[in-house]
C-alpha cells in the first residue's frame, strides 16, 4: 500500500511500512474503559496488512464480537530514527494524518483476561483506515493540534495533543528506543474518550485541525 502526502495539489507516495501504536495515551479514554493509566507508553504494532484507505467503505469482521472505532492522529515518518531524542524527531515527521484504530473489543477483553497480547483484536486485516497525510513544510506547535470524529453527525471524539499523557515528540523518541522507525512507517498517537461500537450503515467524518484535512467514510 502506498501512503500519500500532499501539498498544493502535489502528491508524494511513500511505501507503507509498519504501524506503531500506543494504548491509553489519554487519561479520559483509560477511565472510560476502566483501565489503569500506564506509567510509560503502552506499545503495540499493527502489520501493514491492517492498513486501508479511510475514504473507502469499512468492512467489519464477522464472528468476533463488537468492533469499536478509535479515532487517532497519525504521523508519517520520513527519516530513519533509532534511539532518537525529542529534538531529532520533529524534522523526521513527514506528514500529519488521521486514522481509525478499529478494535474487536469483546476479543480484546478475553485476551486481556488471560494475559495474552492484543494483536488479534487490534491488527486484523483492514483494522487501520488511514487518511492522506498533510505534508509538513513547517513545524507546527505539537502541543496545540486537535482533531475530531463524528459518528452519524454526532460529535463523539475530540482529541487535543495537549492532553496526551506522553507528548508527540517524546512518544516517537520512546518508540525509536525499541523499534527503529523508517520512512513510510506510521505512528498512531492514541485515542481520547468517546469510542464506541460500529454498526452497518454508520457514517463517520474526521477532521484534523479544523480545515487542514477532512475525511468521510461509512461502514458497509
pLDDT, tens only, 32-59:
888 888 899 999 999 999 999 999 999 9
CA 6, CA 26: separation in Å to the nearest integer? 29
CA 180, CA 112: separation in Å to the nearest integer? 27
Q: pLDDT band at residue 4, thresholds of 50, 70 and 90?
A: low
The three-state secondary structure class of 130 is strand
DSSP H or E stretch at residue 29: helix 27-32
The DSSP result for 166-189, as a single string, is S-HHHHHHHHHTTS-B-TT-EEE-
Percent of the chain having pLDDT more than 70?
A: 95
Percent of the chain having pLDDT more than 90?
A: 85
pTM: 0.94
- Asked if pLDDT for residue 196 goes beyond 90, the answer is yes
CB 54 within 8 A of CB 98: yes
CA 179, CA 87: separation in Å to the nearest integer? 18
pLDDT at 2: 60
The three-state secondary structure class of 117 is coil
CA 195, CA 197: separation in Å to the nearest integer? 7
Q: Residues 162-185: what's their mean pLDDT?
A: 97
- Asked if pLDDT for residue 135 goes beyond 60, the answer is yes
CB 130 within 8 A of CB 3: yes
Which cell numbers in the block locate residue 199?
454498526
Q: Residues 161-187: what's their mean pLDDT?
A: 97
Backbone angles phi, psi at 89, to 5 degrees: -75, -45
The three-state secondary structure class of 30 is helix
Amino acid at each position: 500500500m502506498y501512503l500519500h502526502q500532499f501539498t498544493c495539489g502535489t502528491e508524494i507516495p511513500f511505501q507503507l511500512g509498519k504501524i506503531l501504536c500506543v494504548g491509553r495515551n489519554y487519561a479520559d479514554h483509560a477511565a472510560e474503559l476502566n483501565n489503569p493509566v500506564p506509567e510509560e507508553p503502552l506499545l503495540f504494532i499493527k502489520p501493514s496488512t491492517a492498513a486501508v484507505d479511510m475514504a473507502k467503505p469499512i468492512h467489519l469482521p464477522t464472528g468476533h464480537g463488537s468492533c469499536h472505532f478509535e479515532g487517532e492522529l497519525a504521523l508519517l515518518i520520513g527519516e530513519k530514527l533509532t534511539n532518537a531524542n525529542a529534538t531529532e524527531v520533529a524534522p523526521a515527521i513527514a506528514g500529519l494524518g488521521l486514522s481509525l484504530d478499529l478494535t474487536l473489543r469483546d476479543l480484546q477483553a478475553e485476551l486481556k483476561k488471560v494475559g495474552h497480547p492484543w494483536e488479534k483484536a487490534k491488527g486484523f486485516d483492514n483494522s487501520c483506515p488511514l487518511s492522506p497525510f498533510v505534508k509538513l513544510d513547517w513545524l507546527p506547535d505539537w502541543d496545540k493540534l486537535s482533531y475530531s470524529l463524528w459518528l452519524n453527525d454526532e460529535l463523539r471524539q475530540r482529541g487535543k495533543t495537549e492532553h496526551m499523557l506522553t507528548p508527540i515528540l517524546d512518544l516517537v523518541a520512546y518508540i525509536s528506543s525499541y523499534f527503529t522507525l523508517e520512512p513510510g512507517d506510521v505512528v498512531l498517537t492514541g485515542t481520547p474518550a468517546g469510542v464506541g461500537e460500529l454498526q452497518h450503515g454508520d457514517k463517520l467524518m474526521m477532521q484534523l485541525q479544523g480545515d487542514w484535512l477532512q475525511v468521510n467514510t461509512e461502514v458497509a
